[in-house]
Chains A and B, each alone.
Chain A
């Protein structure tokens, strides 16, 4: 395995002339937790949307484990191994918690998705679709075996948030609390067994104790060796969990480094909090 998992080079994206992301380059190593911070409108979420293929880049390249993905659509990027959560939490409202997670497993399945390699091809995509329909209605021995694996994998992910999601596993997602929706979303993303987990403000709208809970879970994931690209406003959490921090402002990277270095960088302090203010817990002027 190379020592670079995600490589972003000269990435650009503009919206009607506004350069939201203006030629940024960074890398994420396997097992590394990298956070992107910066003021509102600095291009953090746009960067995540570009990396996950939700929107198309206007320039530059994105490489995952040596494979160019900047031209791929988000479904293919998910298959390549990037899973994400969204800023405001997008769960499948009508599906239960367990079923939300099962959909997350979709791209890892084999027996339930025959000929899945054709699913992106004109007309030929009907071959895998009809195959999936056949398995849904009739089934094969292989698909029945895989069914057991699906159920086991769903249990594993629910177990991660056992006290919160365990009792709600069969409840439809729209009936969940906001924090539980975010947990469901994270569990769904992890079900994909992603090589890179992309989290867009996972603690937005959560209270302090819920935030601490998420922090603990992120640290657990980090200990398991999960590579994470994180956008987050709560600096305590960012400082604790990150191996490296990227600071963006105006679509550019203005600083990059280990948490303790970034914390003291004068350019960061000025851009992020204004003059003469320290970053969360740093030495105050």
Chain B
């Protein structure tokens, strides 16, 4: 029991460092910084590289790692985050998400994807109080954190830049008018946050004993939950939240096992968001500020599409391509079509209801597993399993998401990200092995397993999806959902129950995600939890952002470019993620409404 407590303190130590960095950046820039998440993984890998590969002494490697993280943080802030934070915070958040994916994959290319054993630099089990065992390593880590926190709080309280940071956090405009160089303050905050992230990463390597380039996101998300728990923007809150969460997590794992970790974190996040959305020390403003003139950015008019384009696209996509294309192109085409279905369904959530959900892999996975299980165990035909998959994805995802619709701002994106991870974690818990031999579709006894057959099935589903989305967009319901995304307070004052419509939009998107998942499952004929990754969620978001976030047909264009072109250009998976990330950043920066939307 006491050992679990120590364990919790050590985990909490890492989360506290991360949470302070996240809160700091959120405070001065109003941006949730996913890039920070990557520094955990990067810090660990760099430490491994210097100590295990280069043979440097740990105390030389540590400052080296921190310096690299600090420099990288500065570069990211100057090149990506700051230019976008001026436009709209959501765009900046998305970009930091893209940056984090890029960093993780660069690190994966540089250091390899496998887990690396981190050498023991300090004894880990040489001390004890009573029967509580711990090591010099643990004491050193806690001591470093304590020193860092004391120095940080003194710096913020008395330092010139520290005071400027606090002023900027309270009111950026006012700080700017008082002559505070807000840009530099933001740079400093970003550098501090990155350094803390790197330090946390080194601690992870020390504590866990292994390091992996992509472990950062997981720990980053936990640190973010810690920051939320403590109160986003509050540094003391970050420390408290970190330790509280670390201890809760340690006891959760003690009782429920390690596989339940992600689920525990998600449950804590949801409970905090419902009971105390501002966190333990934070505050939520009573009424969201009224939008002033000139703040309507990132909007534009969709390009006018001539009427003949629709029948032409139908003929090319449904007749010409199946007739002339070879199997390779058709197989690529099925991927394009399936993602177009998922993304077109997603536009009602991301574009109209204004909820940028980051965990669509969750409902896709539900659809895939449902479809596989009902065809194999209940002997449903593929045609019956397809809508059942959509419905079960819509229902299960809606039940799990039901607590989050009252949540505001960035939190809702994070909550959906957590939701996606939690769904896949639950599936992993229930069905850890993959499912093999998923039956292929049949039509009156004829087996439809050729690329042409798959292509035509997917094309038909896409046409239906687009028709449904088009009907919804044109309807009164569609306008009501858009009004909620546009201004929820004004929608309420018009008698529109915003929460209900966000939930409905999410359910519609989850339905089409589930349908897409079912199509994937019956074409791969094999699924396992590793297919439904964060990358899949990122891809869906990137597709809709690229095509125009509220345009269902934009999703088709986005899908053709991001999946079709990448496949035909034969990019490797790692490189592809980097390209997705870059595309996302560039689109958000230069064409915030999407490539089919004229800038306003």
Binding site for B on A (CB under 8 A): 15, 49, 52, 54-55, 73-76, 78-79, 83-84, 86-95, 99-100, 102-104, 106-107, 109, 112, 119-120, 125, 129, 132-133, 135-137, 147, 150, 172, 174-175, 178, 181, 185, 188-189, 192, 205
Contacts and interface: CB of A to CB of B under 8 A. Distances in A.
A136 B479 CA distance: 10
Contacts of B490: 86, 90-92, 185
Nearest to B503: A129
Nearest to A146: B476
Contacts of B166: none
Interface in B473-500: 475-480, 482-483, 485-487, 489-498, 500
A136 B477 contact: yes
Nearest to A95: B482
Contacts of A52: 493
Contacts of A75: 492, 495-498
B364 to A, nearest CB: 21
B109 interface: no
B492 A93 contact: no
B600 A175 contact: yes
Contact of B482 (A79, A90, A92, A178): A92
Contacts of A84: 493
21 contacts: A54-B489, A78-B492, A86-B489, A87-B290, A93-B486, A94-B482, A94-B486, A95-B482, A99-B479, A99-B483, A106-B494, A106-B495, A109-B476, A112-B477, A120-B497, A135-B475, A136-B471, A172-B299, A172-B301, A174-B296, A205-B293
Contacts of B311: none
Contacts of A147: 476
B487 A92 contact: yes
A100 B486 CA distance: 11
A135 B476 CA distance: 9
B206 to A, nearest CB: 44
Contacts of B301: 172
Contacts of A95: 479, 482-483, 486
Given A106-B476, A129-B503, 7 more contacts: A74-B492, A75-B496, A86-B489, A90-B290, A92-B482, A92-B486, A185-B490
Report, nearest first, the 4 A-B pairs whose CB atoms are least far apart. A107-B495, A78-B495, A136-B475, A174-B296
Q: Give the dominant DSSP class at A's interface.
A: helix
Contacts of B293: 88-89, 178, 181, 205
A141 B479 CA distance: 20
A67 to B, nearest CB: 15
A92 B488 CA distance: 9
A173 to B, nearest CB: 8
Contacts of B291: 88, 90, 93
A52 B490 CA distance: 11
Nearest to A200: B290
Contact of B299 (A76, A83, A112, A174): A174
B6 interface: no
Nearest to A128: B500
B287 A103 contact: no
Nearest to B492: A74
B286 interface: yes
A175 to B, nearest CB: 7
A140 to B, nearest CB: 12
Contacts of B487: 90-93
A11 to B, nearest CB: 17
Contact of A88 (B290, B477, B500): B290
B296 A103 contact: no
Interface in B442-483: 468, 471-472, 475-480, 482-483
Contact of B476 (A112, A129, A174): A112
A90 B484 CA distance: 12
B375 interface: no
A88 B472 contact: no
Interface in B65-119: none
